[in-house]
Structure formats: structure tokens, C-alpha cells
Structure 1
Amino acid sequence: MLARLARFSFRRKYLMIFAIWVPLVVVLSAVSGAVGTDYHTEFSQPDSESKKVGDAFKAIGNGDDGFPAQIVFTAAQGNQDPEVQAAMTALFEQVDAIRLDSKNNVLTADEVAALPADEQAALTDPVKVVSPYSEDGAQQTRPADAPTNTTGQDVSFAQLTVTRVDQATTQHIADAIQELGQDVRVPGLEVEYGGQVFQKFEFPASEILGILAAVVILMIAFGSVIAMGLPIGTATVGLGVATAVVGLASRGLSIPEFGPQMAAMIGLGVGIDYALFIVSRYREHLLMGEDPETATVAALDTSGRAVIFAGITVMISLLGLFIMGLPFVQGLAVAGATAVLVMMLASITLLPALLGVVGTRINTTTRGAAAVVGIWVLCGLAGVIVDKLGIFMLVGSLVVVLTMLYQYNVTVRFFGWVIRRRTASTGWPGSAWLRTPLPERTEKAREHRFWFRWSRFIQHRPWPAFVAGAGVLVALAIPLFGIRLGFSDEGNQPKDTTVRQAYDLIADSFGPGTNGPLYLVSTDPSATAESVAAVDADLAQLQGTSIAIATPGREVGPGTWSWVVYPTTAPQDAATSDLVHHLRDTVLPASGIDVWVGGWTAGGIDFSSYIAGRLPLLIGAVLILSFLLLMMVFRSVLVPVKAVVMNLLSVGAAYGFIVAVFQWGWGASLIGVDHPGPVEAWAPMMLFAIVFGLSMDYEVFLLSRMKEEFDRTGDNATAVADGLASTARVITAAAIIMVCVFSAFALGDDRSLKLFGLGMAIAVFVDATVVRMVLVPATMELLGARNWWIPKWLDRILPHINVEASHDEHHPGEA
């Protein structure tokens, strides 16, 4: 089937490119832009106390089930200054007057007043405001001389609760609030906005840096501009399609704000890798003397099979996250799996068409073309550094066009629009040098290549290599045993953002726990004034220790009582988690009534506990699946066992790294993380699922060559050395690209993406170096022919999965 698909794509190349993939990108992007996206994060899970609290607030309709936010302000003349109080009170009234119409359009007080009375009655109130100047907000001000206030000024905040609506509407509400705040002009008054509602989720330029790194690496690996451009172009087109599809999917699934970024991270990595494998095999068959169409068919029928198998494995691993039973996690899984699927399809349809366009020119590169690539890379890098990417890429494009015109001796006459090519005799100085092809690389015999000699070096010392490699992985994994799952708070946002400044003002005046209040609710029918008073007394005993402020219980609805508790520690601190568990397990049960602890902070704690309990199920499912797939592919028992164990060590090393950096703070400031905090609760499960899938990619590509040589020669030692020599350069280039793509996300502002990107980068790096280049040849040598042993009865009942086709009988060297 792949052979027929390759021939169709090759022969109908322009149809495949301009009638299928280009329109697909344009149409899906236009539809996604017109329909809009709805990225939102939902950490609540069934049967948790935080969910019960949210449901109780929703049932009485008091608005407390929404997103918490704050308007924080401080004035040099004091917050009780009449001018300050009048200005801020007017702002709070305007914010409280914001309304939504039936289409979720945001209307200000003036716009509402212009509507007829019947239309005003149909509007909904999306924002609840508790002013620090009101009776309910009396504790929302800290004077400059308060013991907890280290700012030297009065600090006050209005507590907002924003209704849970789609992300776009939430952002419009936040923008409307900040626009109203811009009209507050009182000398000495500073106004900041806190809470997730006011966070700006912008797509960082990290992907651009990853692509630039991939360009450089592929140029070094291939020595050809066209060979470099094919994987980049294929992955870029696939990324456009995947991003649009994920955006559309967000309308029906709970995909978090960083979902498209994570999908781009995964998609770019696997997309470039898959195309790299196929392009390498294509060039390999061209060097054997085959014509472009035959070489394309051979590449798809060999490496294309491995790409499909690897892609399906990654998708199965990701979709296995549905085991977790959480819409938020399922949304991330769908986003990542969508990116992998699109990249896989692009590699086996779009890429063969592009190979048909370039033909034998894939190995030819002129000095001018190499210069053009250098210009693009430098302009892109400069644009990212100074945050003027569009301008620098425009300048780069102009320089590229001028270089190409100069290279091919083109004269352009603007008057009369005459364009003609200059003759060789009147060519521009140096143009002939620019058109000169770079010398093509000559391939060494396999036994003279570095990786062949490296494999022999390891094989002659298998035990020391095995002990050293395993020791490195175990040492890296040690911090894993101290992992703490949770969620970072706004204290980890960049210092120049209003969200971070609001967080710091509250933390420095009220205490950090005020940024993450806990909401206590009781709907117990047996609740009485006495039992409510007992809860008040129990909470009061903790004030000054683990609780900074605890409001008295009040009846917020028929039979519904509510308290607000502000911890003394930050939302992300372990002590806050301890307080939540202490309240639930010890303090509140003593009152004699059922009281639930909820709110955004408690919801994150519940989510983390839920993930910790379900993670073993995910790990078990992925391990079993990986073992069975490898056993079917390689007809072996020991090879899958080794793969599972070594993949576990790779993931453990990545976990240990993120714990050391993000939880313990080792070197965190180097990547822009100011405060140590918990490991994002969703990251270990996502990292585990993805890394196992990606590890299978390298596993199949490396071991299939080893198995091929073993079947041909029957000599395990030779098979290991030849297999590594044939694949190591491609695996190394692919791994470096992935590491660059993933590491580039550490340059963004979002801590979650930093953690996940660096975790992925470390996992891929360790897997491609310590595991593939040290532990695999060492263990293969130690086990010898036993590597390929399988009981006959098991061999008969297992289905056959062939990742290599008949073209492998040529046994070519790696390009």
C-alpha cells in the first residue's frame, strides 16, 4: 500500500501539494480563525471536595463558582484618601456593571444604559466584585504600618469572581476591566490586576528558535539546502494544519491554554524527525543508482513503515491518557495525538510529492543557496532576540531576493517592467562563484565510520559500559523520589507582568496565602448556628499559624453556609497542601457537620492527588503495550524487556532533572524561574506517555537494522556494529533537533512549558545517547544470539508486524 501511495504522490506531485495540502492549510486556518478557539483549563475531577464546593455555589447562583481574580491598588497618600477612594469605588462600580449579552459580547455600563429595558433584563452578570471599602471586604486592606505589610504603603484589593465562560470571552472581560482601569488617573495611585483571568497566553517565539536550530543541524547532517528544506517544509505545513485542527477541537474539548503550544512542541519534533528518516533513505537509494521515483517508493516502503509504526505508537501512548478520566488531560492527549497524526500523514503523502519536485537535485547545493540559508537563520535569530521577527524576516527576504538576482545575473528595469537575464560575458562579479555547487560528500565504508568504531569499542568492554551507563541514569533519577505534584502560582510569572506585580503586592502586605483563598462550604441539613460557631472557633484557633484570615461562617443561600480561609503560605507551598488535608481530616470533622474545602487552590491539590493515584494505571498500560508491540515487531522476548527497562530509566532521569531544577531550584534562575515550586501535576503523565512513544521511534529504527544484519549474517556482534553504524548519524541528528525544539520552549514565559519542554529535551537526549549509543550495544553484546530468542509457540500466535520491506535486501549504507 505504501508503495502505491508513494507512486501516486510522486506522479501527482502538484495535485498533492497545491490541490490538497496547501488548500488544507488555508481552509482550516480560515475556519479556525472565523469560528474562534476556546482554550480553557479545568482541573476539577469527579467526586472531589473542590467540585462539590463549586457545584454548591453554582446551585445557589451567587457567582462564587467562577475564576478568582483581584484588582490590587496602593497609593502613596494612603488608600483611604478621599480622591483615591472615590476613584477606586467608581472603578469597582463600573466593573460590577459589566454585562454579557446572549452572544457573549462584553458590554460596559454606558453600553448597557443605551439598550432598551427588555434587552437589559436579558443580560447576564459575569463579574462579582467585593470592594475593600465594603463591609464584606473590610479585611481586604492592609495599612502601611500593619505587621505583615513590608511594602511601606497601604495595599488593598477588590476580590473578583469571573463567571466560567469560554476563554475568548474571559479574555474580553479581562480586557474590559483593564480598559476601565486606565481611566483611573490619580497621582501616586498604582493599580495592578491579579489572577489567572488576567494572564496573557501568547504563542512564544520558541518554535522559531527550534526551527532555526533544525535548519543548522540538517545543513550539517545533509550538506544540502534542498535536503534540509524538505523536513522543515513538511513539518511547517503539518504544523499549520495541526494548529488549526487543535483550535477547532478546543470548541468541544477541554484543551488548556498551552495545549496548542504543547502540540506544536511535539509536532515539530516528530514531524522533522519522520521526514528526516525518509529523506535519508531516499538519498541512500539515489546513491545506489536508482531513479527518483524508485528511490521514493523504496524510502516510503522502508523508512515510511517505521514512521507509521512510530507515529501510531506515539498516538496510542498519548490516547492512553484517556485512562486518567479527566477532560483536561484528554484535551492535551487529543492535541498532541492530532499533531503526531498530521505530521505522520504529511511525511507519507506531502513529502513524496516534494521529492518528486526536487528529484536528483536533492544532493546539489550552490554557494549562493548556502548563503541564503545563512542569511535567513541570522535574520530569524536577530528577530527573536530583539522581538522584531516580522521586520527582520522582511529584511532577510529582501536580501535573499537580491542575492538570488545577483547569483543568476538578473537585471530588473522598473520603468517598463523589463526583466532579463544577463549573459555570461556581462555577468555580475562573483555571480559565477555563487552558482558553483558545493562539493558533494563522499561516504566512507561502513567499517571506517566513527559509529562503527564506537560500537566495537563498547562491545569490547560491555560490562564497564553497562555499569557506567546505568549508573548515570540511576544518579539522574535519584531526585525523583522527592517529587511533589501540584501547580505553580502567579508568583512564577515574569516580574514585569501585572499579574506578578499584583501577586507580589498581596504577598508582601497580606501574606502569600491571600493569593490562594480556600472556600469552605456546608450544605449539611443538620447545620445549626451552634455548629457553624464551632467551625468559626476551630478556624480561629489556627489563625496566626497556618491560617492568616478566616471569615465567620455566613448563610449564602438556603441551607448553604460558607467560609473564606486565607492560608499563611503561598498556593504552591507544601504547607498549604498540608493545611487543606488537616482541615479535611481533623479540624472540620470535629464540628459535627459536613464541611467541604474547595476553591482554585484546593482544586489543584485535589487534581494532583487524583493524578498520583491514577498514574500507576497509565504507566502499567503503556509498559504492557510497549512490550507487546516490540515483541511482535522483533520476534524476541529479551529485546522488549530491555527496551522497557531502559525507557523507564530514561523517563526516571528526566523526572529527576525536573525535580532538581523546578522543585529544588537547582539552576532555576538560569531559565527564568524565580521560585522553586511543585512539579506541574499533569507533566509526569504527559511526559511518560510521549517519551515512551518517541523512544519506540529510535528503538525501531536502530534495532530493525540490527535485526536485518543478524538475519543476513547470523553474527550478533557484526549485526550490532553494522546496525549502529548505519543509523547512528540519523538518530543523532534527529535527537539533536528534538532537543533543540523542546529546549527552545524554556525561553518562553510559561513555567509549565519550561518544565515540560526541558523534561522532554533531557529524556530525548538521554535516550539517544546513554541508552541507544551505550546501553543498547553493551546489552546486545552481553546477551549475544539470545537477543532474538522467542518460544516457538509464542512466535506462532503473535501477529507479524513488518517495519521493513523488501528493499532492505540491498543493505545500503546510511546517507
Structure 2
Amino acid sequence: MKTIAQFAIRRRWWIIAGWIAFIILTQALTGALGGASYKDTFSLPHTETDKVIHLLDNSGQSEQNGLSGQVVLKAKSGTLDSAPAGLDQALAGLCADKLDVVGTTSPWQSVTCANGKAQPAAGQPTLLSQDKSIAITNVTWKSAKYDQKLFDGVYDRLVKLRSDTLQVEFTGDAFQGQGQKQQGVPPFLLGFIAALVVLGIVFRTFGATALPLASAIAALTSGLGLIGMLTHVMDVSNVTPQLSELMVIGVGVDYALFIVTRHRRNLRRGMSVQDSITSAIDTSGRAVLFAGTTVCIAMLGLTALGVSFFYGMAIGTAVAVSLTMVASLTLLPALLSFLGLKVLPRKQRRAVRAGQFEDAHTVGFWARWSDLVAKRSVALGLVGAIAIITLAIPFLSMRMGHADQGNDPGNTTTRKGYDLIAQGFGPGYNSTLTLVVDGPQAHALAAKVADALKTTEHVNPNSVFLPPKGLTPELSLVSFKSSTSPQDSKTTDLVHSLRSDVLPPLYKGTGDHVYVFGQTAIYVDFSHVLASKMVLFMGAVVGLSFLLLMIAFRSVVIPLTAALMNLLAAGASFGVVVAIFQWGWLSDALGAGKGGPIEAWAPVLFFAIIFGLSMDYQVFLVSRMHEEWVHTRDNRRAVRVGQAETGGIITAAALIMIMVFFGFVLDPNRVVKLLGIGLASAVFLDAFILRTVLVPSLMHLLGRANWFFPKWLDKVTPRVSVEPPDEVIEPERTPVGV
């Protein structure tokens, strides 16, 4: 690490020029490729959804798997006895607009798109409400990939149908997020502003405040460029840019904060500028390297789930975090060398120039707090544990699924469309369910299935629709709607009941089979896949992080403690999310809609991010403790000194990250709010309860056992230390807190 730091100082102009060139190159290459092309794709191996997708593909009916959206029409006065003026022409025109529309179905006319031309046919009268005031037009796309440009294209053309007599709204999966664009300050910019304020308070000098932000900006702009290129190699989720912004701003500022703080402390203790930077990179820089690696391990662990939705997201975010580490270890020391003593406030600069250096011991609030934790470790640890466990209780009742658009803000077109459908057809009409009948007797079996559906609990009997012709001689569809909303637990129970009880007796012993398909069933399978692999995923992330910390700190107790604390932090933050977004506590005040299931992907993504960030704080805290332990072999002193010297920086870094994450609450999208609140609460609990109370209390109680490492394991474990082996720590002349 010393070599890297010294090279960055000697070749600082080359380092800065290299980063500028790298940023320009990544952005230019992405632009040359036509910009980023984000797409959401789902691959759910060994599920009924996966079987149906392959069945449709092999039968030449892949368009049946395409995404769909609903255009809802409401007469502001009178009824819709006939198609509103311009509707049929507008729907037919979609076929020629290269928007990948397969077809549309309205009460008055159905249109099939073939070679850019519209082929009209009879409509589906059941898409008109009984009072004839509300009508639904279904629009289906060729692909199941989420391509915002295609959906926006359809929206832009059909929204023109709005008039003084006709209300037109858009809902369904394809139009999710339509009209929910962020107003005012974007969350990532709000994060930068918050970081600027907190860094200004902590550092009290412009140079030291600006450098962490400069490092994060360099990593973010180059990282987004690389992710943009990655979208042309593999499918990368639409969520990836926001997630990368959130992670890079958070960890980037944090990493730079730790390095700059160590550098400033070195200067105040009498080191030269160059030696101080080198020492900061060789100590805090090593902690940054280990902490960033744990974040990357946690994010890449998402690929172990076997769900394609996470692949591009995990790799893209890991790339961005890796660049953040590189920027902290190269660009930051180069910039620090230009500042010299200006990294310190004016009063401290004068003191250093006058030779008035600070002692090695720490004084102030955190020194006093570390003394208190040492003296009252049992009582404080018990209070902290009770608080965390209490917050984690709601997690035990978490229900995974997919919140429907009835949770969208009331002024959005998706919510208005959802409410109109529920008003005119019942809440279950917003569900999307289809039975795919396969086999030699598919058409005859489809008729039997349709009859059985009409008497099945939680099925709307008036919604069962059997097309007059099958897709192929051995493939037929039966569409229907539930009587309950898509997010209702009864709808999930209906899918399970159809698969296990209702349908099997109809085809058992024959060469036929009936599959439950559609977006509602897909999310049921998605939840099942993630739940079934959650233990494997958590085991992989925790196991790899355990090995990394064990090698770094030469201890088996420290990584066990870290794993336990991180699991507690995850459970408590999940509890907060469940209380707000599932139970509905404070949901109205936060604009999160009514209570509903937690998005199926949220727990695994949360765990990856939370575990990675928790490891960050654990590494920074324990690395300073271990540094002291190596030189004194006094556990009580090591824990006190480590907490006293890192507590203020950890909490300052946490405040920045909390503000960054909480800024996403301003986004109108429920999923983004869920991410923001969940991550902000996790960081708060981690920094202000776990690292401030629970971890040091537990380490005081364990004593020398913290550093237990069997001799046989020491012989076979590679030696990679967070602290430089030749670092000499000046003995503390007075007790911490004096």
C-alpha cells in the first residue's frame, strides 16, 4: 500500500490526468454505443413459469409471454356504447410505429400486428363495464423484457386521446412508474448536498470537504460509463443506475472520510505531508480495501440466487464500488498532496507550523463514551440488544410478493387506472392470470378447465375467457381474473390452490397438462425461488466475509461477532420495512400507499447491501482495535482506543449515508421509498447501536478471547493484514478520556 501511495504522490499529475481520461473514455464509448440500454429480465429456472416460457417459445408463441399494459377509458359523461373517436385508428397505428406491439384488444375491436400492418378482428365485449362508462384496452408487446422506450412510445401516442369528454389512464406492468418522475432535487444530488454539509461540519475546511466528493464523483461518472457499456453485453436492470449512485455516494464519501481523517490526525501529530498521506493509505487505505471487497462479495453473492434479474445489477454495482476503492487509493492521495497543510483548519495549520503537535491519546466525547461502555458493558449491551430485537420482531411476519398499483400515489395515471378498473370490474380485474393447456386434447381440456374455474373460490366467474381457437393444435389458453386484488394473500393462495388441488384432477393420467401463468403467478414463483435460495445466498455471503475477516484479523471470534451483529442489523431494518410497508405504519405520511407485501427481491438485495455496509463499519472499528491489540496485547485498552478514535468518524460517515438513502423517500415510487427507508434505518441502527454499543460491549465481555486463533489455523491461513506490519504506535501516555 505504501508503494501505491508514494506513486500517487510522485505522479499526481499523471494520476489526475489518467482519471480524467478514463472518465471521458467510458462516457464516450457508452455514447458511441447509443447510450445505456437497461432492461429487466426474469429467468426462474425449475419453476412453472420457466416451463411455460420454454413451451411457448418452442411452439412459436413467444409473444404470449410479452409484457402487457392496460389503457383505461372513462366517459366523463354518458356511456361508451361505441369506440371513442380516434381510438381504433390510434391502436392500429401502433403496429406501424416499430414499438414491438403484438396486438391490442378493446371492447369494440382486436388488432393483431403482423409485419408492421394491423389485422383487425372482433373485440372483447367483457372489457366494457356493466354501466358502459369504463372500458379497458389491453396492449401486448412482443418481449417480456422491460424496455421503457417502447412503453413510453405507446403512452405518448394514446395519451392524445384525452379530451373534455374522455378520461384516459394507463396501468399494468408495462406502464409502472409512468408519471412518477422525481420532482425537485434528485435523490443522488440531495445525497451530495447532505455529504457536503456533514463533511463541512466535520472538517471545517473547504479542501478536506471537497476531496471526498471529488473522489466519489470520479468513481460514479466512470462507473456509470462502464455499466452503460455492460448493458450492451448482458441484460442490466433499470434499477442499477440508481443503486450504483446510492452505493458510490455512500461508500465513496465514507472511504475518503476515513482516509482524510487519518491523514489529518497524522499531520497534527507531527508527520510530514508526504509521510502522513503514505501512512493514511497504508493504514486506513488497507481498511478501505478490505471493506470495499466485502461490499463487492456481498453484491456478487446475488448471482448465487440463479435469477437473471440480479446478474447485471450485481456485476454493475460491484464494478462501481471497485472503482470507488481505486479512486480512494489513487486519486485521493494525489489530490491530498496538492493541498498540503490546507487539509487542516487554519488554527490547526498554525499549530502544526509552530511545532505544537497533539499527543497520541484521544480526548473528547468519544473518549468519554468509550470509557462508559467499558465500565457499563453489560447494562449498555443489554439495552442495545433489546432495542434491536424489538425492532426485528415484525420481520417474523414478512410476506413477500408484489405490491400492486393500488399503492401508487393518488395523482398518478397508474393509480387512477387501477382504481377505475376496480370501480368498474372489481379489484381482482387488475390481476393477470392465465392457464396454459398443453397436450393432444388441449382444446377439450381447456373447456373443462374453464367450467372448473367458474366454481373455484376467489375466481371471478364472469371473467373466465376461453378464446374460440387455440394457439396451436396442442396448445390453448384460458384467461381469468381473481375476485381479490393482485397483492391480496388470497390471490397468492388461489395460485397455489389451482396448481395443487383444482387443476391436477382434470388432467391426471392423461398426456395433457395445465400450467398457471401470468404476472401474478410469475411473482409467486419469483418469491418462491428467492425464499428457497435465501439460506444459500446468506451462507455464501456470510461465509466469504467470515474468511476475509478471519484472515485480516487473525481471529475466529471477531468474524463470528461481525456476522451476528450484521444479521441483527439486517433483521431490525427488515422489521422497520415490514412495519411501514406491510403493516402500514406511517405509510400515508411517507406516501407509500396502503400496506401490501414486501417486494420479493427486496430482502436479498437489502441483505447484500446491508451486510456489505455493516462490514465496512466493522472493519474500520476493529482494524483500529486490532492495531492497538497487536502492539499492547491489552484487550480493554484496544477496544477503548479503537472506539474512541473511530466512533466519531463512523457516526459522521453514517449520517452522510443515512441522508443519501433517506433522500430516496422523496421519490414517488413505492419501491424506491422502500429501499431508501430500509437502508437508512439499517445504517442508523448499525452505526448508532451496533458499533457504538453492542460490538464494543461484547468485546469487553469476551476479553482476550476476541483474538483467539488456533495455532494450526494460523499456520495454514495466508497472512494479509489490515495494518502494516512495521507500523509503530506511540504508547499512550495518559488514559483515554483524560
TM-score normalised by length of structure 2: 0.90
- Cα gap change, 1:769 to 1:528, in 2 (>3 Å): same
CA distance in 1, matches of 2:595, 2:31: 37
Please name the residue that 2:106 is paired with.
131
CA distance in 1 between counterparts of 2:431 and 2:257 reads 47
Question: Could you say what secondary structure the match of 2:73 adopts?
Answer: strand
Give distance in 2, aligned partners of 1:185 and 1:683: 36
Contact 1:55 1:65 in 2 (8 A): no
| Aligned CA distance change for structure 1 residues 178 and 795 (closer, same or farther; 3 Å) | closer
* Alpha-carbon distance between aligned partners in 1 of 2:37 and 2:518, rounded to the nearest angstrom: 22
| Rounded Cα–Cα distance in structure 2 between residues aligned with 1:301 and 1:255 | 36
Shift of residue 650, structure 1, vs aligned partner:
0.9
Q: Give the C-alpha shift of residue 563 in structure 1.
A: 0.6
Alpha-carbon contact 2:65-2:144 (below 8 Å) kept = no
Match of 1:461 in 2: 376
Q: Which residue of 2 aligns with 1:667?
A: 586
For residues 162 and 363 of structure 2, what CA distance do their matches in structure 1 show? 75
Instruction: Give 1:373's aligned residue.
Output: none
Question: Could you tell me how far 1:254 is from its partner in structure 2?
Answer: 2.6
Paired letter, 2:23: V
User: 1 CA distance for matches of 2:400 and 2:458?
Assistant: 27
| Local SS of the residue matching 1:246 | helix
- Relative to structure 1, the CA distance from residue 548 to residue 647 in structure 2 (aligned partners, 3 Å threshold; closer, same or farther) is farther
Work out the CA distance in 2 between the residues paired with 1:85 and 1:702.
Answer: 67
Match of 1:226 among 193, 207, 213: 207
Q: Identify the match of residue 502 of structure 1 among 405, 417, 423.
A: 417
In 2, the alpha carbon distance for the partners of 1:171 and 1:638 equals 49
Whole-angstrom CA distance in 1 between matches of 2:633 and 2:458: 75
Q: 1:89: which partner in 2?
A: 88
Mean Cα displacement is larger for which, 231-240 or 623-632? Answer: 623-632
Say whether residues 1:347 and 2:328 are aligned partners: yes
Backbone CA RMSD of aligned residues: 2.4
Query: What are the superposed Cα offsets for residues 273-311 of structure 1, whole Å, 9 maximum, x if unpaired?
Result: 111111111111221222222211111111111111111
Q: Is the 8 A contact 2:78 2:133 kept in 1?
A: yes
How many Å separate the matches in 1 of 2:725 and 2:289?
A: 17
C-alpha distance in structure 2 between counterparts of 1:764 and 1:342, whole Å:
22
Asked whether 1:537 is paired with 2:446, we answer: no
Which residue number corresponds to residue 484 of structure 1? 399
Q: Supply the distance in 1 between the matched residues of 2:417 and 2:162 (Cα, whole angstroms).
A: 18
Is 1:693 aligned to 2:587, yes or no?
A: no
- Structure 1 residues 415-564: aligned runs within 5 Å: 446=361, 448-527=363-442, 529=444, 531-542=445-456, 549-552=463-466, 554-564=469-479
Write the mapping of 1:298-377 to structure 2, written as runs, cut at 5 A: 298-364=279-345
Residue 545 of structure 1 and its aligned partner are, at CA, apart by 5.3
1:708 pairs with 617, 622, 627, which one? 627
Structure 1 range deviating more: 622-631 or 657-666: 622-631
8 A Cα contact 2:263 2:280, kept in partner: yes
Equivalent residue number for residue 420 of structure 1: none
Q: Secondary structure at the match of 2:250?
A: helix
Contact 1:664–1:677, Cα closer than 8 Å, also in 2: yes
Q: Is the Cα contact below 8 Å between 1:239 and 1:268 reproduced in 2?
A: yes
Question: Are the counterparts in 1 of residues 394 and 579 from structure 2 also a CA contact under 8 Å?
Answer: yes
Partner of 1:585: 500
For the Cα contact (< 8 Å) 1:691–1:764, is it kept in 2? yes
Relative distance call for 1:136 and 1:564 in structure 2 (3 A) is farther
Distance between the aligned counterparts of 1:507 and 1:443, measured in 2? Answer: 70
Give the C-alpha shift of residue 178 in structure 1. Answer: 3.1
SS in 2 for 1:603: helix
Question: Equivalent residue for 1:718?
Answer: 637
Per the alignment, do residues 548 and 34 of structure 1 end up closer, same or farther by CA in structure 2, a change over 3 Å counting? Answer: farther
Q: Any conservation in 2 of the 1:79–1:85 contact (CA below 8 Å)?
A: no
Secondary structure in 1 matching 2:84: helix
**Partner residue of 1:414?**
none
| Structure 1 CA distance for aligned equivalents of residues 20 and 478 of structure 2 | 57
1:49 Cα deviation (Å)?
1.7
Paired residues of 1:479 and 1:659 also in contact (CA < 8 A): yes
Aligned to 1:415: none
In the alignment, the residues of structure 2 paired with residue 571 and residue 443 of structure 1 have an alpha-carbon distance, to the nearest angstrom, of: 64
Equivalent position of 1:213 in the other structure = 194
Q: Match of 1:597, SS?
A: strand
Q: Aligned letter for 2:158?
A: G
Q: Which amino acid aligns with 2:21?
A: P
Specify the SS of the correspondent of 2:39: coil
Alpha-carbon contact 1:480-1:652 (below 8 Å) kept: yes
Identify if the C-alpha distance between structure 1 residues 528 and 505 changes in structure 2 by more than 3 Å, giving closer, same or farther.
closer
- Which residue is 1:197 aligned to? 174
* 2:692 partner amino acid: M
From the superposition, tell whether residues 637 and 161 of structure 1 become closer, same or farther in structure 2 (CA, over 3 Å).
same
Corresponding residue number in structure 1 for 2:263:
282
Amino acid at match of 1:27: L
- Is 1:639–1:788's contact at 8 Å kept on the other side of the alignment? yes
Alignment equivalent of 2:139, drawn from 144, 151, 160: 160
- Cα–Cα, structure 1 residues 444 and 205, in superposed 2: closer, same or farther, change >3 Å? farther
Between Structure 1 and Structure 2, how many residues are aligned? 703
Rounded to whole Å, the distance in 2 between the matches of 1:585 and 1:560 is 21
- Give distance in 2, aligned partners of 1:239 and 1:731: 22
Q: Distance in 1 between matches of 2:668 and 2:77?
A: 34
Cα distance change of structure 1 residues 533 and 675 upon mapping to structure 2, 3 Å threshold: same
Q: What is the deviation of 1:812?
A: 9.2
Match of 1:60 in 2: 60
Counterparts of 1:166 and 1:132, CA distance in 2: 27
Is the contact between residue 54 and residue 598 of structure 1 (CA under 8 Å) also seen in structure 2? Answer: no
Aligned residue in 2 for 1:238: 219
CA distance in 1, matches of 2:542, 2:251: 21
Q: Are 1:313 and 1:696, in contact at CA under 8 Å, matched by a contact in 2? A: yes
Task: Give, in angstroms, the shift of residue 811 of structure 1.
Answer: 4.5
Counting aligned pairs with the same residue, the percent is 39
- 1:6-21 to structure 2, matched below 5 A, reads 6-17=5-16, 19-21=17-19
State the 1:491 CA deviation: 2.4
- 1:184 aligns to 2:161 (yes or no): yes
CA contact (8 A) 1:38 1:166 kept: no
Aligned partner letter, 1:532: A
TM-fit CA distance, 1:564: 0.6
What residue in structure 2 maps to residue 574 of structure 1? 489
Structure 1 residue 50 displacement after superposition:
2.1
Query: Once the 2 structures are TM-superposed, how far is the Cα of residue 48 of structure 1 from its aligned partner?
Result: 1.9
Match of 1:250 in 2: 231
User: In the TM superposition, what whole-angstrom CA distance separates every residue of 1:46-97 from its partner, at most 9, and x where no partner exists?
Assistant: 2322233334444333732211111211113434355x534322322223x3
After alignment, is 354-363 or 179-188 more displaced? Answer: 179-188
The C-alpha deviation readout for 1:456-489, integer Å capped at 9, x for no partner, is 2122122212211111111111111111111222
Q: Could you tell me which residue of structure 1 aligns to residue 47 of structure 2?
A: 48
Change (3 A) 1:234 1:468: same
Separation (CA, whole Å) in 2 of partners of 1:628 and 1:322: 19
Greater displacement, 711-720 / 51-60: 51-60
Pairwise CA distance, 1:188: 1.0
Which residue of structure 2 lines up, in the alignment, with residue 75 of structure 1? 75
2:552 aligned to 633, 648, 659, which one?
Answer: 633
Q: Which residue of 2 aligns with 1:33?
A: 31
Query: Take 1:584 and 1:159, find their aligned partners in 2: how far apart are those partners?
Result: 26
Select between 784-793 and 549-558 the one with higher mean Cα deviation.
Answer: 549-558
Q: Report the Cα distance in structure 2 between the residues aligned to 1:633 and 1:340, rounded to whole angstroms.
A: 20
1:101-138: CA deviations, max 9, x gaps?
xxxxx5xxxxxxxxxxxxxxxxxx63311121134521
Structure-2 separation of matches of 1:50 and 1:185: 37
- Cα distance in 1, alignment partners of residues 168 and 554 from structure 2: 67
SS at structure 1 position matched to 2:68: strand
Q: Flag the 1:182–1:537 CA change in 2: closer, same or farther, 3 A.
A: closer
**Does the 8 Å contact 1:298/1:807 carry over to 2?**
no
Change (3 A) 1:42 1:166: closer
TM value normalised by structure 1: 0.82
Structure 2: any 5+ residue segments left out of the alignment?
A: 110-121, 348-355
Q: Is the CA contact (8 Å cut-off) linking 2:203 and 2:345 kept in structure 1?
A: no
CA distance 1:182–1:716, change in 2 (3 Å): closer
